[in-house]
Amino acid sequence: MFHILSMSIKIALASLLCGALLSAFDMSAAEMLAKVGMTPEHIAELAQKAIAWALPNMVLGSMIIIPLWAIAYMLRPPRG
């Protein structure tokens, strides 16, 4: 758990420093997206489509995986 938290803090700090550096050169996220032909609205639309596709598949898969995991957990030998 500590490793994940440490990694998340490092990524957040690196992102903050990179963002501050780009801001010093008068660059914005909207400009960067425009250079690659994207808009914030298009990104939001892609994210909605991804969630709309992934969520039903996750629920469907969990209907099989969770009972199998529970059975495997119950049949595991006790730790001692």
Q: Residue 29 has what pLDDT? A: 85
Q: Residue 13 has what pLDDT? A: 97
pTM (predicted TM-score): 0.55
Alpha-carbon distance 16 to 27, whole Å? 14
Alpha-carbon distance 41 to 15, whole Å? 22
CA dihedral 9, 32, 28, 12 (to 10 degrees): 0
What value does the mean pLDDT take over residues 1-30?
92
Which tens digit of pLDDT belongs to each residue from 28-67? 888 888 888 888 889 999 999 999 999 999 999 999 999 9
Q: Residue 72 has what pLDDT? A: 95
